[in-house]
Structure 1
């Protein structure tokens, strides 16, 4: 019985570590760094929050593509340009950049702390 508890605990820890560790090959930037990035015309800015969250407060350069619609909407993004992704806290955007990597996007960036860190 004790060994099963250890295995379950190890699986939970592994799941949590994989959830929070940044994806390999994904650039992580702060909101301070984002302010300089916003000036670039060669980048695509995607906000993966819900339309209601986006409507409440957003950065004007960002296009709203909710996380649950990202896979279907990714065809409207260029794989040639960098995609910078934001959400409320950084969790959904981290999931979004993982999804974009799987879809063949090689130049993806996650905004750490999301809109919570934006000032």
Structure 2
């Protein structure tokens, strides 16, 4: 019975953590539809936060690859005074990247709803 209570508490903690994380992301990053993303990404810093092998397999034309795993060490490549448009494969990593950037003082943050897998625009492959 003790194991059951422990598992229920752990499950509850995971659910609470997920909900709080989702609410924080909703507050700090704008989730844009593909159409909204297209309207503004040319005037912003377009960042693909996927890993290099994913980026090379195909990315949005004009995007720079700064993987989430390297973002902390490559912050100097981004200007805090310009909008930052982020995307990843599905939208999860770009949300985490937005949280990191927000903590570092970046305020105008947007990410692509559904991520790259929902993108139907121009793509560049290496």
Q: TM-score range by the shorter chain?
A: 0.7 to 0.9
- In structure 2, what is the equivalent of residue 68 of structure 1? 69
Corresponding residue of 1:115: 116
Mapped to 2, the partners of 1:5 and 1:88 lie a distance apart of 31
Tell me how far apart the structure 1 counterparts of residues 115 and 8 of structure 2 sit (CA, whole Å). 35
List gaps (5 residues or longer) in structure 1: none
CA offsets 1:42-63 (integer angstroms, 9 cap, x no match): x111000011110111112210
RMSD: 1.7
Distance 1:115 1:29, change over 3 A: same
- Give the helix-richer structure, 1 or 2: 2
The CA distance in 2 between the partners of 1:79 and 1:89, in whole Å, is 24
Q: Name which of 11, 30, 33 aligns with 2:33.
A: 30
Contact 1:22 1:94 in 2 (8 A): no
The answer to whether the 8 A contact 2:29-2:95 is kept is no
Partner of 2:123: none
Cα shift at 1:6: 3.8
Residue 15 (1) aligns with residue 17 (2): yes
- Name the residue aligned to 1:54: 55
Tell me the secondary structure at the aligned position of residue 38 of structure 1. Answer: helix
Alpha-carbon distance, 1:39 to partner: 3.6
TM-score (norm 2): 0.83
TM-score, structure 1 normalization: 0.88
Q: Mind listing any 5+ residue stretches in structure 2 that lack a counterpart?
A: 121-126
